[in-house]
């Protein structure tokens, strides 16, 4: 059974824009999978369709064998989403944010309390647990978003550009944490603009451009396929911007 | 509690926690407003107005104030809460949970319904300390108040769903709801109005709601009670069905 199996997924918005044009994708259990693509390529739409925040026009999505569109309850129980936007509830404190999220996923009170404490400790938020989310720094909000996604112990963790705009220290901290939970068996789907991040963390990468999967494979496989030496050059080839290659810039200077 | 019960209870708890966290605005302000109405219309003007249909003016007005408190608070709470959560996108946390459209709709509806219940109850208690408010037909009063609360809770959800900015919510509140309530006979009896205003009042749905609640308290009504109850039940049910449909298709919630 795959952790995530997407088949011929199409998403057309009422405006007529086709954000996904028949995407098929498979992620194995326990994988650390990267999804790369420029802005507007369809990464977030794909994630939103998987988590119920967008409704697919056609195609199917299965999470650990559960239909994520029509019989979504079991599928959503298995997914944790750390979205790109810092979408915290201003009325809640840090601890309440975790507690309510656990409640939405049906966790009993005692379990919620213990799990929240564990995550607050892991993300160095314990001493701020009674602060309202709207008064937190950007870094703390980012940590809380990740902690919230992990609250109900999802088997598939979806990270939508989790390190966008965070400092080096927090980025490394988040990397360590997600690598650890991946080592413990959690499947991870990561979207990122940072190629270094994808190279460092992901065992397999798919590149999406203009609503279609352009290529899938490991960093080395992608580089070999496109006859280049780095993931960055393979990526630039995929999105049709080879002229931006660092190798080019070097030769221009010469 | 099973998983589903925990989920639903948490969804409702979130809505109730929200209005308790800003209780000065959500509970204190409406209570002060009602107190001012009672002071102005009851104590200051009431003594000069004299009895209306055999009831002391303040006693005639209080049932309308109670209905108004429940209606406006149910509406304001749900429309604001939904819009705020859409605005912050924090609603995505509930939308990506396993909660069904029905569970989400019921939870969002209950928030305003319960806030309206609290403010209406406190209004009744406060008014009872000042004057003796009779309760003549409790079996009409309770279902009437329940239906009024349900209707305006659903209306609040509908407007909150449709709204894209705070101006959209305040527009309905100021230019639709408030005039309908004020012109529905909270502070007067429609039978005292000159034509064509008396006839026009009969096209205002809030007039029948006030009629029901006033009959429940005082035993006095200018409207057909059974027909009013029937229409209110139908209106609340239709609104609920519309909202459920909108939640099912993810109207302005899911892309």
Minimum-distance CB partner of A103 among B7, B18, B22: B7
Q: Give the whole-angstrom CA distance, residue B6 versus residue A103.
A: 6
Tell if the CB–CB gap between B96 and A51 is shorter than 8 Å: yes
Do B88 and A87 lie within an 8 Å CB cutoff?
A: yes
How far are the Cα atoms of A48, A198, B98 from residue A187, in angstroms, in the given order? 17, 15, 19
pLDDT of B218 higher than 60: yes
Q: Residue A13 belongs to what H/E stretch? A: none
Cβ atoms of A76 and A52 within 8 Å: the answer is yes
Quick check: helix, strand or coil at residue B216? helix
Q: Which of B10, B17, B249 sits opposite A104 (nearest CB)?
A: B10
Tell me whether residues A54 and B254 touch, CB distance under 8 A. Answer: yes
Range in A223-227, B103-107, B193-197, B215-219 the model is least confident about: A223-227
User: Mean pLDDT over all residues of chain B?
Assistant: 92
- Indicate whether B125 pLDDT > 70: yes
3-state DSSP: chain A helix, strand, coil percent, rounded to 5? 45, 25, 35
Contact status, residue B31 vs residue B126, Cβ threshold 8 Å: yes
pLDDT tens digits along B139-184: 999 999 999 999 999 999 999 999 999 999 999 999 999 899 988 9
Q: How does DSSP classify residue B194? A: P
Q: Is the pLDDT of residue A249 over 70?
A: no
Taking contacts as CB-CB distances below 8 angstroms, the residues of chain A near B87 are: none
Minimal Cβ distance to B93: which of A101, A106, A108: A101
Cis amide prior to B252 (ω within 30 degrees)? no
Is B95 in Cβ contact with A52 (below 8 Å)? Answer: yes
pLDDT of residue B74: 97
Provide the pLDDT confidence category of residue A254 given band limits of 50, 70 and 90.
Answer: very low
Do residues B116 and B62 touch, judged by C-beta distance below 8 A?
A: no
Nearest CA in chain B to A54: B255
Residue A41 distance to chain B (closest CA, Å): 16
- Quick: pLDDT tens for A142-198: 999 999 999 999 999 999 998 887 888 888 888 999 999 999 999 999 998 888 888
Element spanning B12, H or E: helix B3-21
Q: How far is B119 from chain A (nearest CA, A)?
A: 21
The model carries a pTM of 0.91
Q: Percentage of chain A surpassing pLDDT 90?
A: 71
Question: Is the model's pLDDT at B104 over the cut of 80?
Answer: yes
pLDDT value of residue B97? 97
pLDDT tens, A60-88?
A: 999 999 999 999 999 999 999 999 999 99
Distance from CA of B132 to the nearest CA of A (A): 39
Cross-chain Cβ contact A103/B10 below 8 Å: yes
Is a pLDDT exceeding 70 seen at residue A251?
no
A76 contact residues in B (CB cutoff 8 A): 96-98
């Amino acid at each position: 059974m795959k952790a995530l199996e997407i088949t011929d997924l199409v998403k057309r918005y009422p405006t007529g824009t086709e954000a996904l044009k028949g995407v098929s994708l498979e992620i194995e259990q326990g994988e650390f999978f990267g999804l790369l693509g420029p802005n507007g390529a369809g990464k977030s739409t794909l994630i939103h369709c998987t988590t119920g925040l967008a409704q697919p026009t056609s195609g199917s999505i299965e999470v650990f064998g559960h239909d994520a569109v029509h019989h979504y309850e079991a599928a959503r129980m298995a997914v944790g989403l750390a979205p790109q936007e810092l979408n915290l509830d201003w009325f809640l404190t840090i601890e309440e944010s975790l507690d309510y999220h656990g409640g939405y996923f049906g966790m009993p009170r005692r379990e919620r309390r213990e799990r929240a404490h564990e995550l607050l400790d892991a993300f160095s938020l314990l001493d701020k647990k009674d602060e309202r989310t709207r008064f937190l720094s950007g870094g703390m909000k980012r940590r809380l978003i990740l902690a919230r996604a992990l609250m109900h112990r999802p088997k598939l963790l979806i990270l939508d550009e989790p390190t966008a705009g965070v400092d080096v220290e927090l980025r490394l901290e988040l990397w360590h944490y997600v690598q650890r939970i991946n080592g413990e068996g959690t499947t991870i789907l990561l979207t990122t603009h940072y190629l270094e991040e994808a190279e460092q963390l992901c065992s397999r990468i798919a590149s999406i451009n203009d609503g279609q999967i352009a290529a899938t494979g490991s960093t080395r496989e992608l580089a070999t396929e496109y006859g280049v030496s780095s993931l960055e050059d393979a990526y630039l080839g995929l999105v049709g911007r080879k002229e931006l290659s660092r190798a080019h810039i070097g030769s221009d200077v010469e | 509690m099973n998983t589903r019960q925990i989920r639903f209870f948490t969804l409702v708890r979130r809505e109730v926690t929200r209005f308790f966290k800003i209780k000065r605005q959500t509970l204190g302000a409406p209570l002060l407003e009602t107190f001012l109405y009672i002071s102005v219309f009851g104590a200051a003007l009431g003594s000069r107005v004299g009895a209306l249909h055999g009831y002391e003016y303040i006693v005639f007005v209080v049932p309308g104030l109670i209905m108004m408190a429940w209606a406006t608070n149910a509406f304001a709470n749900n429309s604001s809460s939904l819009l705020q959560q859409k605005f912050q996108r924090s609603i995505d946390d509930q939308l990506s949970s396993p909660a069904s459209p029905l569970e989400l709709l019921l939870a969002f509806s209950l928030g305003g319904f319960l806030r309206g219940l609290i403010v209406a109850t406190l209004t009744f208690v406060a008014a009872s300390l000042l004057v003796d408010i009779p309760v003549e037909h409790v079996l009409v009063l309770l279902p009437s108040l329940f239906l009024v609360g349900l209707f305006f809770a659903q209306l609040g959800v509908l407007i909150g769903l449709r709204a894209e900015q705070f101006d959209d919510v305040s527009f309905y509140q100021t230019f639709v709801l408030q005039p309908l309530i004020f012109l529905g006979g909270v502070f007067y009896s429609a039978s005292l109005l000159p034509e064509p205003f008396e006839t026009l009042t009969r096209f205002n749905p809030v007039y029948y709601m006030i009629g029901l609640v006033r009959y429940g308290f005082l035993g006095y009504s200018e409207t057909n009670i059974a027909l009013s109850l029937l229409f209110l039940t139908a209106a609340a049910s239709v609104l609920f069905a519309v909202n459920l449909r909108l939640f099912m298709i993810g109207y302005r919630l899911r892309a």
